[in-house]
Amino acid sequence: MLYQRSSQLFAEAEKVIPGGVNSPVRAFKSVGGTPIFVKQAKGAYLYDEDGNRLIDYINSWGPMILGHAYEPVVQAVTEKAKLGTSFGMPTELETKIAALAVSMVPNIDKIRFVNSGTEACMSAVRLARGFTKRDKIIKFAGCYHGHSDSFLIQAGSGAMTFGTPNSPGVTAGTAKDTLLAKYNDLENVQSLIEANPNEIAAIIVEPVAGNMGCVPPTKGFLEGLRQLCSENGILLIFDEVMTGFRLAKGGAQELLNINADIVCFGKVIGGGLPVGAFAAREEIMNYLAPLGPVYQAGTLSGNPLAMAAGLSMLESLNNDAAIFQRLEEKTAYLEAGIHRVLKANNVVYTINRVGSMISVHFDANPVVDFQTAAKGDNETFKKFFHGLLQEGIYIAPSAYETWFITDALSYEDLDFTINAIDKVSKTL
């Protein structure tokens, strides 16, 4: 495949955009080569500026769970655009999507919409601090909660891809309030709580981690966090930016049957437009301005185009009783196929999967936290990535990312992908 025009466009972009991209991982730095410039996408496929067709396993890093240019979403946005694109005033649409989200997700009474997953997590932590009147938070190495200051401490995927676990620009004052724990290690969390009595406002966690590849919680981990939080007056924040409306209608809370105190959303909830949200029971949400003292706001929050896209997406998911089962089956089929061909070609690997989140790690040991995720062989990953690209398959340009399976993928697409992996495996 030729990427001539993409390379030219990247060179032009580099002149006026730092690194040529508006989000670092897009720059292909950890895999080498130049990024692909997309012209359009439909269903399971991307079409690039050189006229190549690629089967897409990233899907805008998660949002396009029903495929690209999904007709009901496109129609909803187009219709709304004709009526005005932003008002900065309340609309009925906001109540409709809020009511639907609250009905789909367990354990939440109210939800506030923002413009990104970063904003959702940042606001959730501020709310938790205001509510508990405590300053510190616990986050886990390898979990990513967006790029706000207090989260850029060993933040997984994007940040780790560039070898900058702690970004310059985050002050020591901010960093000292973020305590770092090991994912899937309850004892570690317990000792942090004991060392900081009555100081911890919240534990924020990806209930299924997706930013060090896909790393499922081990048995008892989330249950243990729930218990530690309840016993110590700490709020448990589930960052469901990846898992929300993906692993089940009610996200990881529903799938894993654990109640969080605050839940953060992004990606799927916006149907491909810039949307995030955070939600909790009434007592906590009423702490937010204008009802309560914790300030949070946004000129474009609840934007009508974004809400129209999100509502249409959530309605489609809510009305399709089989959607999450279908995603499970397609991803399980892909997983079984990848196992088969990697084994047959004597590749050293581990596959992690929960529902439609899946990752391939080039290491034989179980990947259960950031340390074990970091053991994957990046040279093999690079070859794997570029090999698949040549076969017309687009996976994330970083070994620390999860693949996001879309319902638009057909079994022929999956078979094509498994055959391509077979072919590429022989070159690793």
Whichever of 277 and 327 has its CB closer to ligand PLP, that residue is 277
Amino acid, single-letter form, for residue 426: K
Buried b (16+ CB within 10 A) or exposed e, 165-193: beeeebeeeeeebbbbbbbbbbebbeebb
> Which residues neighbour 217 within 8 Å (Cβ) at sequence distance 6 or greater?
183, 184, 207, 208, 209, 256
| Nearer to ligand PLP (CB atom), residue 202 or residue 414 | 202
What is 83-124 written as a DSSP string? T-S--SS--HHHHHHHHHHHHHSTT-SEEEEESSHHHHHHHH
Rounded CA separation 294/287 (Å): 6
If binding is defined by CB under 6 A, does position 303 make contact with ligand PLP? no
From residue 262 to residue 301, the character string flagging contacts with ligand PLP as x (rule: CB under 6 A) and all else as - is ----x---------x-------------------------
Q: Which of 239, 261, 407, 413 is catalytic?
A: 239
Would you call 320 a catalytic residue per the annotation?
no
Distance CA 371, CA 244 (A): 25
The one catalytic residue in 144, 349, 394, 400 is 144
Cis status of the peptide bond prior to 290, with omega within 30 of 0: yes
407 is catalytic: no
Active-site residue flag, 422: no
Considering only residues 242 to 261 of the shown chain, the ones binding ligand PLP according to CB under 6 A are 242
Applying CB under 6 A, the span of 131-139, 191-199, 205-213, 253-261 interacting with ligand PLP comes to: 205-213
**Binding flag, residue 401, ligand PLP (CB under 6 A):** no
What's the min distance (Å) between Cβ of 242 and ligand PLP?
A: 5
Site string for ligand PLP, 120-149 (x = CB under 6 A): -x----------------------xxx---
Distance CA 395, CA 398 (A): 8
* Active-site residue (options: 80, 139, 267, 330): 267
Site for ligand PLP (CB under 6 A): which residue of 52, 59, 116, 154?
Answer: 116
44-63 binders of ligand PLP (CB under 6 A): 61
| 3-state SS assignment for residue 419 | helix
Spatial distance between the Cα atoms of 346 and 364, rounded to a whole number of angstroms: 11
| Count of residues in contact with ligand PLP, rule CB under 6 A | 16
Sequence letter at residue 222: L
Catalytic residue positions, numbered: 144, 239, 267
Residue numbers of the site for ligand PLP (CB under 6 A)? 61, 116-118, 121, 144-146, 206, 210-211, 239, 241-242, 266, 276
